[in-house]
Amino acid sequence: MSRVPRIRNQDPPAQEVHAGRLRQNRILNEVFDMGDPLKLMRLFGITEKTAMHYIGVAHAEKTAQHPR
């Protein structure tokens, strides 16, 4: 009889992942509705860099693409 090794679950708890994903979705919904980085920073307590990242993801067509 062979023994099957037990696999340790290395995923974070489902509740933790769920809360993080909910927050990301909430921020993205606000970006689609208003797209104002200052309002995002005040509403969610995020940095300017993070606010601009979300705006770039939600409104890629409005983000300036500079050639390198």
Q: At what angle do helices 14-33 and 37-44 cross, to 10 degrees?
A: 150
Enumerate residues 6+ apart whose C-beta is below 8 A from 63: 55, 56
Report the C-alpha gap between 61 and 59 in whole angstroms: 5
Better-predicted residue by pLDDT, 44 or 8: 44
Other CB atoms within a 10 A radius of the CB of residue 59 amount to 12
Summarised one tens digit per residue, pLDDT across range 48-60 is 999 999 999 888 8
Summarised one tens digit per residue, pLDDT across range 23-50 is 999 999 999 998 899 999 999 999 999 9
pTM: 0.64
**What is the phi/psi pair of residue 66, to 5°?**
-90, 130
The arithmetic mean of pLDDT across residues 58-65, rounded, is 77
